[in-house]
Structure 1
Amino acid sequence: MAEHPDIVLLTPYARSLGIELSEWEDGVPVMRVEFVEAVEGRPEHFHGGATGGLLETAGYAALRAELAERGRDAVLKPINITVQYLSAGKSQASFAKGRVTKLGRRSANLTVEAWQDDRTRPIATAVMNVFMGEPED
C-alpha cells in the first residue's frame, strides 16, 4: 500500500486535539496524540472523547489509505462507531491504528486499536461502519 502523508486528512477536531501522523506501518498510517491540556479529562488522564477522536481519526486514515491504494475516492460519512474503553489513558502519548475488515462498494467496516507504551495492552478499541458516497464534482 502506498505511503502518502496527503492521504491522511485531519478534521479540524483532530487538529485541535493535536492528532498527527506518527508513521506508516505495513502501508497503514499510525496516528499519534501527545498528552496535552486539550485531551485531558480528569487530572493526568485522557478524556474519553479525545480517545474516541483518536480512534475515529485512525479509522478514517486507514480507510483513505486503502481507497487510495485501489484508486478510489469517496466522501466518507459515519454510519456508526462503537468504542470500548479498556483502561484509562495516562499522561503520555497515545497511538492508534485502523484496519479495514470489509470494503464494499458503498460501505466499509473497520476495527481500530489505541494504545500507549505497550501495544499488546490497548486502552480502547472501536468498530466503525462508514458510508462511502460518490465525490461531488
Structure 2
Amino acid sequence: MTALMDTLPYARFLGLRGEMEGDLLTVVMPFADRLIGDPMLPALHGGSTAALLEMTAIAQVALVYPRLRLPRPINVTVSYLRSGRPQDVRARARISRAGRRVAHVLAEAWQDDAAQPIASLTANFLLAEDN
C-alpha cells in the first residue's frame, strides 16, 4: 500500500501510510501543522480529513481488485461527526457491495477510539479493467 500512496501526489503531501494487519488495511495520516483548518480550536481541516477517507477507500478497492486501474469516484459524501484534534488520524474502509462496474464503499476516520469516528464517507467508485 505504501507504493500506491507514493503514486498519489496529495497522499504524499498528507504523509499517508498504510498499515496491514492480516488482510485489514488501516491508513494513517500523521499530524502536521499544515493540516490545521481552524487554529482557534485547533481543528483539522475538513478537506484533509475527506482526502484521507477517499484515499483509504481507493486503497481498499485497489487492494481487493489489484488488476484494475485505480477506481474513479462517481460520487462521494463525507459526514463530519466531530472536530479532528491536532493528532494522528486513522481510517479504514470496507466495500459494502461491488458489481462488474461499480463498488460501493464505506469508510470511517478516528483518532483515539475507532468506535468514535470523527468523519465517515460513503462513495461509489467506477471499476475499470487495466488495458
106, 111, 114: which one aligns with 2:106 = 111
Q: What is the match of residue 19 of structure 1? A: 16
2:53 matches 1:66: no
Q: CA deviation at 1:76?
A: 1.6
How many percent identity over aligned positions?
A: 36
Equivalent residues in 2 for 1:1-137, closer than 5 Å: 5-6=2-3, 10-21=7-18, 23-43=19-39, 44-68=42-66, 72-136=67-131
Listed as ranges, the gaps of 5+ residues in structure 1 are none
- For 1:16, give the aligned amino acid: F
What CA distance in whole angstroms lies between the structure 2 residues aligned with 1:97 and 1:9?
18
Preserved CA contact (<8 Å) 1:108 1:130 = yes
CA RMSD across the alignment: 1.7
What CA distance in whole angstroms lies between the structure 2 residues aligned with 1:15 and 1:5?
10
What CA distance in whole angstroms lies between the structure 2 residues aligned with 1:48 and 1:103?
28
Equivalent position SS for 1:41 = strand
Q: TM-score, normalised by structure 2?
A: 0.89
What CA distance in whole angstroms lies between the structure 2 residues aligned with 1:8 and 1:14?
6
Preserved CA contact (<8 Å) 1:74 1:135 = yes
Equivalent position SS for 1:14 = helix
Q: TM-score, normalised by structure 1?
A: 0.86
- For 2:8, give the aligned amino acid: T
Q: Give every structure 1 segment of 4 or more consecutive aligned residues whose post-TM-superposition deviation is greater than 6 Å.
A: none
What CA distance in whole angstroms lies between the structure 1 residues aligned with 2:13 and 2:2?
19
- For 2:73, give the aligned amino acid: P
What CA distance in whole angstroms lies between the structure 1 residues aligned with 2:38 and 2:98?
37
